[in-house]
Structure 1
Amino acid sequence: MGEVVNVIVAVAVIVFIVRWATSNNAPSQPSPSSILGFRPKNVTPEMVETIHNMFPDIPSDNIRYDLLRTGSVQITTNKLLERGFLPAPPPAYFTLYPRAVEPANPAARPGQAQQPAAAASKSKSESLISRFHLEDRVIASASGVSAAPEEAGGKSVWEENAAKREASLRERKAQMILAARQRLLAQQAAQQAEPSS
C-alpha cells in the first residue's frame, strides 16, 4: 500500500511540473482587444488603399486604426470630411501592426499602374492653357480684348439638353482659367514694380 501512495504522489508531482514548465515556456500573448482597448474589426488592405487614394496626405496607420474601430470605409471617410484629420494611433497599436512604410512617390503605390517617365514629365509641363486649348484666347487677351476677371465663370443658366450644359460648363471653365491667369500676371507685375519704387 505504501508503494501505491508513493507512485500516485510521484505522478502528481510530475504532472504539476510538466504543466508549470509548459505554461512558462509558451509566452502568453495578449489579445488585440486588450491591447487596443476595443474589439478590432476586420480591415482589408483594399479598404485602407481606397481611403488613402481619396486622402493621400493622411498616413496609412491613422486610416487603418480608424478602420479597425469603425470597420466601415464610409464612416471613416465621413469622419475625414467632417474633421479634416484622423487621430494618430496609440503606441500600443504599433505592437500589433508594424509601422506602414509610405512610398516616396505617390504614383508608386501598390495597385496603381506606373507612369512612364516621359508621360509624367509631359503631364507636369502641360499647363491649363494648353490642356483646355486656350492659346488663341490668351493671344486675344494680350491684345486687350478680354472680359473683366470679376465676370469669370459668370452666372450659370440651366440649359435644356446635356450638350449645351456641357458647352456652358466648358466655357465657364475657360473664363475662370483666363481670369486666374490675368490675376496672376497682375500680381507678378505688382511684385516687380514694388522693389523698384
Structure 2
Amino acid sequence: MASDSATTTFIACIVIGFLLIRWFVIPSTSSPSSSVSTGTGTLSSQATTGASTTYRRRRLVTPGMIEVVQSIAPTLTMEQIRYDLERTGSVELTIDRILADGGLPFPPNTQPEIPQPQGSPSTSAVAKGPHSDLIQRYNLQSKLRSDVHLSEQSTESSEATSGPAKKAKWSQSKEERQAMLRKQREDMILRARRKLEDEDKKSSISA
C-alpha cells in the first residue's frame, strides 16, 4: 500500500509539473506572433491613413479645366497640367504659375519628353497664338476691345478690398452653375491675354 501511494504521488507530481511547464512555455512562444501581427496591423493602418490623406489633398480636376490650361499653354503635357490642378484646384492659379515660371513641374516618377530640335518661333508669337484662338473660339473679341480694362480694374480693386479671394457659392441650379463657370473661364482668358500683352510691352521697352 505504501508503494502504491508513493507511485500515485510521483505520477501526480509529474502531471502537475508537465502542466506547469506547458502553462509557462505556450504564452512565451505565442507572444512574438501576436506582436508581429499587431505591428503589421499598425503599419497597414498607417499606410491606409496616409493614402487617404494624399487622396483628400488632391482636388477634383475636370476635362474643361485641363482644356483651358492646355489651350493657353499647348507645349505642356496633360500630366503636368493635371498634376498642378490637383494641387491648386484652380485654373487661375495654374495659369499664373505658368506665366510666372514659364512652365509647370512634372509629376513624381515621370520622365519629361525631350522636344525635337526645330525652328522655334518667338515667345510673343507662341504666347499670342493660343490666346487668339481662345478669344475667337469663345467669341470674346468684343469684350477684349471694350471692357478688358474695366475687368482688370474691377478685379484688382475687389482683390485689394476683400483680401484673399473667396470662392463663390455653388448654386443648386445647373444653368446658374454653367453661367458661373463660363464667366470665370472668360475672365481668366482675358486676364491671361492682358498679362501677356503687358509682358510683351515690358520686354520691348527693356530691349
**TM-score, normalised on structure 1?**
0.32
Larger RCO: 1 or 2 (CA < 8 Å, sep 6+): 2
Higher helix share: 2
Which has the larger Rg?
2
